[in-house]
Structure 1
Amino acid sequence: MLDTTRLTELSEALERSVREKDVENIQRLCDENDEFIRSIQPVSDAQLKEKIKTFISIHRSAILFIKDVHSEMQKQLYQTNKSRKGVSQYKGVKNAK
């Protein structure tokens, strides 16, 4: 049987972390609760089904947020590397005799 208290607490914590844009906490929550998250199965109880749907929605928004952050970090890393290459080329021309 699904632990509804844990599901509710996890949903609230995850939603709060997404709202606060707390990347580290989102990753920690998902890592610590991975086995529990993967154990969630479809149920026939309407009230429990609604809690699961709410959790899925929050979890999906957390995943999308993390993907966006990751994508932005990759872009910044690319720009940094591009700038460094440009600077090193400039230094080479500047110090050439």
Structure 2
Amino acid sequence: MLDLSQLAKLTEELERAVLVKDFDEIQRLCLEHNDFIFSLKPEKKNSVINQKLKTFIEIHHLAIQLVQDTHRIMQNQLFQSIKARKSVSKYKGVKHAK
């Protein structure tokens, strides 16, 4: 049986973390509640539970998207930084500078 209080608490905490873009908190919540998240299943005859699940899924999707977008931006910045360092090191004057 689905624990509605745990689902409501997790939904609220995850939504708060998404709103303030707290990536560490998003990752912590998802790791701590991983088993619970993967155990969620819709109920055939209970529309209230299904609506709460739908809300949680939407917020969870937003959290995942936020983390993935941030990861992509950080990878791009790292690539640009490495690319700039490689192009600067091609100049002989840089290698022999004191």
TM over 0.5: yes
TM-score, normalised via structure 2 length:
0.91
Counterpart in the other structure of 2:7: 7
- Please name the residue that 2:40 is paired with: 40
Matches within 5 A, 1:69-84: 69-84=70-85
Deviations 1:40-86 (A, max 9, x none): 01102111111000000000000100110010010011011111112
| Offset, 1:36 | 0.1
Q: Distance in 1 between matches of 2:64 and 2:35?
A: 16
TM-score of the pair, normalised by structure 1: 0.92
Identity in percent: 48
Distance 1:70 1:13 in 2: 21
Identify the residue that residue 17 of structure 2 maps to in structure 1: 17
Match of 2:61 in 1: 60
- Corresponding residue for 1:51? 52
SS across alignment from 2:10: helix
Aligned partners of 2:60, 2:3: CA distance in 1, in Å? 17
Matched residues in 2 for 1:74 and 1:21: separation? 18
Task: Tell me, in whole angstroms, the C-alpha distance in 2 between the residues paired with 1:84 and 1:23.
Answer: 28
Query: What do you get for the CA RMSD once the two structures are aligned?
Result: 1.2
How many residue pairs match? The answer is 94
What is the distance in 1 between the residues matched to 2:41 and 2:5?
16
